[in-house]
Amino acid sequence: MSSVKKQLFEQLAQIAQAIASPQRLELLDYLAQAERSVEELSNLSGLSVANTSRHLQILKQNALVEVRKDGNKRLYLLAGDDVVTLVASLRNTAETHLAQVENLVDSYLTKKDQLDPVSADELMEMSRNGEIIVLDVRPEKEYQQGHIPSAINIPPEDLSKRLVELDDSKTIVAYCRGPYCLYSFDAVEALQKKGIHARRLVDGFPEWKASGRPVTSEN
């Protein structure tokens, strides 16, 4: 094997090592929604600030995340949408080839997913025809930094008291952080119990954005 090829494989292995941590994968998942400080990521992940910072430095050293200064704050963000695609490829491979992952998905998410999921292409077509209301059930900060155009933001904890804002004569399609995020599952289930025709987007906002589909923000 040529020395150049060996060097290339060494670089690829460094990326693999950088994401070979459940904690770092979780941090990437949060950063796929919105840029955040070390303290915010520490609160979300349950890791100490020091441990969170250590994991972020490994991700930064391997060019998976970047840092932006905002006054006295240092905010972390993904280096690009290709990082979302990388993690999605890892997820798809694990679901296909690892029996334990397949069993977890089948026993938990698939049981919850009797909700007639909508593909991204189908959602775009339905939106063009004005057939649906798109519902973003992520936290407000994540919605503000980027969302599907025309989507309404109602976090799950506010859904029951804000149902009057939704036109129940239309189909409601809910989406959240990604295929393993339960916010959209729970929102659709709650809406269906109220007699509202509701479905969920197969993937979440990061996958939608990484595929090059239109997004907008409140910033």
Dump pLDDT digits (tens) for 112-131: 555 578 999 999 998 888 88
Catalytic residue among 34, 118, 135, 176: 176
Residues 65-101: tens digit of each pLDDT: 999 998 889 999 999 999 999 999 998 888 787 777 6
pLDDT for the residue numbered 219 = 61
Please tell me the distance from the alpha carbon of residue 53 to that of residue 50, in angstroms, as a whole number.
Answer: 5
Residues 65, 28: Cα–Cα separation, whole Å:
8
**pLDDT, tens only, 12-68:** 999 999 999 999 999 999 999 999 999 999 999 999 999 999 999 999 999 999 999
Look at strands 65-70 and 73-78 and give their pairing. Answer: antiparallel
pTM of the model: 0.83
**Annotated catalytic residue 181:** no
42 φ, ψ (degrees, to nearest 5): -60, -45
216 pLDDT higher than 70: yes
Residue 209 has pLDDT above 90, yes or no: yes
User: Domains along the chain?
Assistant: 3-83 (1.10.10.10), 110-210 (3.40.250.10)
- Tokens found for residue 203: 């993937």
